[in-house]
Amino acid sequence: METDEQDKIFEDFERENGFSAMPEVVSEVLFALQSSRTTMHEVGEIIMRDPGFSTRLIHYANSGAYFTAVPASSIDQAVRIIGLGPLKGLCLGLPVFTRYKHVLGVREIWAHSRATAICCQIVSEAVRFPEPDTAETAGLLHDIGKVVLAVSAGNFFLSQIQVADSPERKPDWKQEKEHLGFNHCFIGGWFARKFQMPPPLVEAILWHHEYEKSRYGRDLACLCMVGDQIAASIGFSHPDDVFVEPGLVGALKHLGIDDALFRRIMTRCLERVARMVAYD
């Protein structure tokens, strides 16, 4: 695909469907979160102005994504449970996934993304990754580029869903590159840059299938890949690719995860993701 055609996909998505069509409250929250002095209560007050978004956020806080003794019943409690770091990712992800939930494959991508966010939380805790909130956000947003493909390159995406379990197929990101000239990682990186995500997060989304290429966030990209592949292996795979990549072995080694630790991580991921299902 020519560069002009790539630009057209992005521009069409942006103009007709795009991220600029996000609820006003989302831009206000993102603006408020630019200041490190913004408190959780202030963020909650902004979110409360949009009852629909508030409801979805409370639902997410209670959806099994977090350990909570008492479910959130107010937006203040939901913000406290989620935390300001992951909240930024949710502000970007929730409206996009909600808006396109009727598009074929998007519900599955959302379920996979939520499961990946949980698995990234668990892996980051297991390897003592210093920024667990960023890892969770990376998990939640890593495949956001697939939503753009599902919406703006629907025929191609549908053709990939049809061969999702074909043993001869190449991994999704390679298929996309071969047929479109770019892949969902590239679109996700563009999305994250557009909304001024921190550079390591942009890189994690951009390189979540090729962490070796990341210069500024290799460990985070690698962790995101591990979370992504674990989610796929426990039943929350991508609608357009059901396989686990062989590169997982190298990624586990990169993070220092041996067999015993991997077994513990898998057990915890299964337990937590099962809770997510129960709450859904």
Residues at the site binding Fe ion, with contacts judged by CB under 5 A: 143, 228
Minimum gap (Å) between residue 208 Cβ and Fe ion: 6
- State the burial class of residue 171 (Cβ atoms within 10 Å of its Cβ: 0-12, 13-18, 19+): middle
**Cβ(172)–Cβ(166) under 8 Å?**
no
For Fe ion, give the closer residue by CB, 99 or 112. Answer: 112
For Fe ion, give the closer residue by CB, 131 or 143. Answer: 143
**Cβ(171)–Cβ(241) under 8 Å?**
yes
For Fe ion, give the closer residue by CB, 143 or 219. Answer: 143
Minimum gap (Å) between residue 68 Cβ and Fe ion: 25
Q: What is the C-alpha separation between 190 and 15, in angstroms, rounded?
A: 15
For Fe ion, give the closer residue by CB, 53 or 236. Answer: 236
Q: What is the largest CA-CA distance in the chain?
A: 53
For Fe ion, give the closer residue by CB, 79 or 115. Answer: 115
CA torsion 186-191-193-196 (nearest 10°) is -160
For Fe ion, give the closer residue by CB, 26 or 135. Answer: 135
CA torsion 115-118-124-127 (nearest 10°) is -80
Q: What are phi and psi of 7, to 5 degrees?
A: -60, -35
Q: What is the C-alpha separation between 137 and 105, in angstroms, rounded?
A: 21
Minimum gap (Å) between residue 186 Cβ and Fe ion: 11
**Cβ(225)–Cβ(252) under 8 Å?**
no
Minimum gap (Å) between residue 209 Cβ and Fe ion: 6
Minimum gap (Å) between residue 26 Cβ and Fe ion: 23
Minimum gap (Å) between residue 134 Cβ and Fe ion: 17
As given in the structure block, the two tokens for residue 238 are: 């991508």
